[in-house]
Chains A and B, each alone.
Chain A
Amino acid sequence: MTGERQGTAVAGGLILVVEDSEEDTEAIERALSRSHPEVALEFASGTEGVLARLLDPAAPRPGLVLLDLNMPGRDGHSLLADIRARGELADVTVVVFTSSTAPAEVEACYAAGADSYVYKPVNFDLFRTVLKGAVDYWQQQGGH
């Protein structure tokens, strides 16, 4: 299930991070709280419950979902397909954030409806730069 780690509630400025790795979750929180302090973050440690969370009319709708691909149980690909199968979530930007650069993986994610496919680097400074670039881009597009 999802859990909120940071409480700055901003309408329209919520990012839902779906990531099973504790280390990566912490790195994403550290990076985004510095580059985009105005954006609220919500975290889910797996894909389970995420679709229901997104469809919950009582909960604020994230403008952007940052999605790890390789997770135990139902993986990120399945969740991506689930999200894109729901027309009411069409305005939710899905950014796949993963450690693979294999062209076939990129193709598969685009075909499944990902809005962005972003490589997750090992180095934290680069990690932060990449995340900032992706969130800046979608903020400027008005996509979230």
Chain B
Amino acid sequence: MEKRKISFPHFGSYYIPIRHLMIRGLEIDYVTPPPMTKKTLELGGKYSPDYVCAPFKIHLGCYIEAIEKGADTLIQVDGVCRLGYYGELHEQILRDLGYDVVFVNLARARNRRIRGFYEEFKKISPNLSLKKFSTALLTSIDMVESIDQIEDYLRKNIGFEQQEGSFDRLYEDYLQALSLVESRKEAKYVTSNYIKRFKEIPVNKPLKPLRVGVVGEYYSIMDGFSNHQIEREMAKMGIVVDRYLNVSNSLFHYPVKKMREYIKGYSSYDIGATGTMTLNRALKFAKRGYDGIIHVKSFGCTPEIDAMPVLQNISKDYKIPILYFSFDSQTAEAGILTRLEAFYDMMVMRKEGKA
């Protein structure tokens, strides 16, 4: 039997650990989807229900482009919102379009632990060894943590680089190095080595820089293509951009009980999906005296819509401005930049007014 060629939609830089898990853990080939472009959006939008959230459309576009690039097997993950139904619908749409692919839908897994996922993957890779799978999974998790750690530093410092492009260049190098990682030990080494190198990049950070916290929906917030790189655009204006939500903080260590406790006065129930984290972090940013909060979601994202009235309460109580973004597949970039620019001007004026 020929080796399967599996693919998963783009999601920031996480394709690197995913690829590692597939190649080393499942011992199958991995097809990285082509870089996302307008065409990806068009393809996805064309075959998706009109009112579905933007990430669904983007994923569908990625799947089609990955199939054209040679993928014959696709994966979709589970989620606690509509994401949980993505796989089912993606598979159906691709079948209707006539694509003959194997679809691994992790939402169907019997349990949501290693064992459950292992069983799902065994269907496409019958000789799969639990040991190999687990080892590769652990390395992949380390790689995810590595990306999250590096990107956190990047968001907080890239706006102050002395030499334009120095962070981007090193980040490219870093992704290269991370792609070559084969073990947990190597992952650890690459992380500490690059953290050190990133910290060596000279920055001109004022004593009290503007600080913006980013909260919102899982995919749109983490995938730069989906949010038109607003974190970058913001940071480049000379702002510390702080985001807690990433894969490690949501999947590997998510202190949900503590988070819920913290926002007790604002929300008595769990909103679902990322809602609780959104409120928790927004309140934290507010209490720490951040200059502003940016709320990011895809158009129609229900859990985040539910979080918005509570965000407005936090905004009022702590007098912290919140900028709301709702991304759809045809959002015009000029409007986004206008709003970011105005938000920046406002934060500067507020700060000068306070001083």
Tell whether A and B belong to one assembly.
no
B: which residues have CB within 8 A of A? none
A: which residues have CB within 8 A of B? none
